[in-house]
Chain A
Amino acid sequence: MAKAHVYKRDHINTDEIIPARYLNTDDGKILARHCMEDLDTQFLKKCREGDCIVAGDDFGCGSSREHAVWSLQGARVGAVIAQSFARIFYRNCINCGFYPIELPDAVNLIADGDQIDIDYQAGVIHNRTQNTTIHFKALPDFALEIVHDGGLLEHIQKTASK
């Protein structure tokens, strides 16, 4: 079970997820220490391993920095559930083996602090707090394959060795 940290906001951008001033490194551990820093200075204190971020539309807009995904992965965020994602961020998530969950109306279906379970296979979120079952549209097959393999390069490695 994971706790949901809900940000009722659209356009949360990569500068907020990992500010550009920290891009002088690609060390995931360092990046993790600044995850979401410009959005919520308390985030890292609140977030336990496997917790989820829930947000409005256009999550991850702005810079192409994959550092944003690495900092989320480094901070052990379990998943991001957003009403929609910015294109490059969405693609980066898949390439890093980090499942981006697109869920219309997410910020109204999940409240801050709710306990949720995600079944990626079935495309279902069980909201234990509100006792609801929420369906989301699973990734297309080819993207799912990349996520399953652990990321794009792992996928290339695997397909090359076939």
Chain B
Amino acid sequence: MGMTITEKILARAAGRDHVEPGDLVDARIDIIMCHDVTTPPAISMLKAKGLDRVFDPDTIVVTPDHFQPAKDIQSAELLKRLDTWAKEKGIRHYYPVGRAGVCHALLPEQGHIRPGEVIIGGDSHTCTYGAFAAFSTGIGSTDLAAAIATGTLWFKVPATMKFVLNGRLGKGVYSKDVILEAIRRIGTDGALYRAMEFVGPALKGMSMEARMTITNMAIEAGGKNGVIGFDEITRAYLDEHLRDKKNYTVFESDADAKFVSVETIDCSTLEPMVAMPHLPSNGKPIGECAGLAMDQAYIGSCTNGRIEDFRIAAGIIKGRQVKIRTIVVPATPTIWRQCIDEGLAQIFDAAGCVFSAPTCGACLGGFMGILAAGERCVSTTNRNFVGRMGSPKSEVYLASPATAAASAIEGTLTDPRKYL
């Protein structure tokens, strides 16, 4: 019986020839992503338990992001604990404030993500890195602590669901719309304990940035990981971004690999989607929700805070004024600099947007754009739970950067296609 990419990677990491869904494996971890919310508790636990060690400092990548630069005294304490530990343990891949960025945008960009590897992070959207034909999944602080100290973690091998993306995306329709449609179909627990593998011709038209938007949201369907096979687009990205350790292993799903389900999405007929409050699965085509008044637009995050996203948004906003509070947050310092060099920052500024330094900030209702009771925000982020971006009485509408930009101009949910 053949294996899927996910099964093959986990088999390799466990030193086995073959695994099957349901098998429990001890996997060697290749990369551990650490940020300011979940890592400081992990560090404290290790200290308290007398396990204060790092199995291999070079597997660890540290970047504060959620509350950086520190938003208050408490978060300053978290950042300080993270900083002290990273220095004390000699973590080479440490991105302090100034170099720090939203983790899931920063790690691939800085060349820490390689195909065939096992990547974990104390963050649910760690599934993003699966876009590089890697196995990557989010865990909590205790798992993180265990992985830091021992270099391994147990996993139950997930069964894989296949998503075939047929056709080509139409104008004004993006990978964000594809993943919102996939989650609409299967629900927020439709992929519980499962791997979500995306295949199909529509991927050929998507950059790595666009693909990461898809795998980023696998967790919003309950998935353990999202994964996309390796191709020329992956190779080109890696050639540009990988620094050291340029070798990697490419795994493909076998022709006779077993998939628990197959879902086909015709990308050609897809419309821009908006996920209504308060679940990412509440997706509606823009035609059914256009005109709804918004108070804020947010363009950023690990889902859609990459350079391509700002190019798309700036293309729509250019020469116009935004009608509502619009907050634009490049996910990493590199993207921030690109926005300035390419003149995008000036476009946002001239239109009346806030152009911020990289941070997670408002995406999780941390700071830099919190919503008041009764306010509505059209957001390029990944989660619209109650209270996610501020008051439990506020509402978040998930959409692509194009839809968010068009909505910012009109002050209501707006079909971006009329601005393209």
Tell me whether A20 and B366 are in contact in the complex, defined as CB-CB below 8 angstroms, given that A65-B38, A66-B140, A88-B139 are known contacts. Answer: yes
Cβ-closest chain B residue relative to A155? B146
A24 and B75 contact, CB distance less than 8 A: yes
A112 beta carbon closer than 8 Å to chain B:
no
Interface set, chain B 361-420, CB cutoff 8 A to A: 364-366, 383, 385-388, 390, 392
B122 beta carbon closer than 8 Å to chain A:
yes
B124 and A88 contact, CB distance less than 8 A: yes
A67 CB, nearest partner CB in chain B, Å: 8
B45 beta carbon closer than 8 Å to chain A:
yes
A11 and B124 contact, CB distance less than 8 A: no
A20 and B74 contact, CB distance less than 8 A: no
A21 and B365 contact, CB distance less than 8 A: yes
B140 and A38 contact, CB distance less than 8 A: no
Distance of A146 Cα from B66 Cα, bound (Å): 30
B213 CB, nearest partner CB in chain A, Å: 18
A95 and B392 contact, CB distance less than 8 A: no
Interface set, chain A 29-63, CB cutoff 8 A to B: 38-39, 57-58, 61-63
A16 and B122 contact, CB distance less than 8 A: no
Q: For chain A, which range describes its interface: under 10, 10 to 19, 20 to 34, or 35 or more residues?
A: 35 or more
A17-28 interface mask toward B, CB cutoff 8 Å, 1 = contact, 0 = none? Answer: 001110111100
A78-106 interface mask toward B, CB cutoff 8 Å, 1 = contact, 0 = none? Answer: 00000010111001100110000000000
Partner of A15, one of B45, B143, B219, B385: B385
Most chain A CB within 10 A, of B37, B38, B44, B154, is at B37
B210-243 interface mask toward A, CB cutoff 8 Å, 1 = contact, 0 = none? Answer: 0000000001001010000000000000000000
B188 and A61 contact, CB distance less than 8 A: yes
A157 and B51 contact, CB distance less than 8 A: yes
B74 and A156 contact, CB distance less than 8 A: no
B222 and A153 contact, CB distance less than 8 A: no
Tell me whether A65 and B387 are in contact in the complex, defined as CB-CB below 8 angstroms, given that A20-B365, A24-B78, A88-B124 are known contacts. Answer: no
A84 CB, nearest partner CB in chain B, Å: 7
Tell me whether A157 and B49 are in contact in the complex, defined as CB-CB below 8 angstroms, given that A84-B192, A86-B192 are known contacts. Answer: yes
- Which residues of B have CB within 8 Å of A65? 37-38, 140
A61 CB, nearest partner CB in chain B, Å: 6
- Which residues of B have CB within 8 Å of A64? 38, 122-124, 126, 138-140
A62 and B51 contact, CB distance less than 8 A: no
A66 and B387 contact, CB distance less than 8 A: no
- Which residues of B have CB within 8 Å of A61? 188-189, 222
B139 and A91 contact, CB distance less than 8 A: yes
Cβ-closest chain B residue relative to A140? B24
A87 and B192 contact, CB distance less than 8 A: yes
Distance of A39 Cα from B385 Cα, bound (Å): 11
A57 and B189 contact, CB distance less than 8 A: yes
B193 beta carbon closer than 8 Å to chain A:
yes
Cβ-closest chain A residue relative to B141? A66
Partner of A63, one of B75, B124, B143, B392: B124
- Which residues of B have CB within 8 Å of A62? 124, 383, 385
Interface set, chain A 92-125, CB cutoff 8 A to B: 92, 95-96
Additional pairs, 8, CB under 8 Å, beyond known A58-B222, A64-B140: A13-B386, A21-B365, A21-B387, A62-B385, A69-B140, A86-B189, A154-B49, A156-B149
Jot down 25 A-B pairs with beta carbons below 8 A, ordered by A: A10-B189, A20-B365, A20-B388, A21-B365, A26-B40, A26-B44, A26-B141, A58-B188, A58-B192, A62-B124, A64-B138, A66-B141, A69-B140, A87-B222, A87-B224, A88-B138, A91-B139, A92-B140, A92-B141, A92-B143, A95-B143, A142-B24, A152-B143, A154-B49, A156-B146
User: Could you tell me which B residues sit within 8 Å of A by CB distance?
Assistant: 24, 37-38, 40-41, 44-46, 49-51, 66-67, 71-72, 74-75, 77-78, 122-124, 126, 138-143, 145-146, 149-150, 154, 188-189, 192-193, 219, 222, 224, 279, 364-366, 383, 385-388, 390, 392
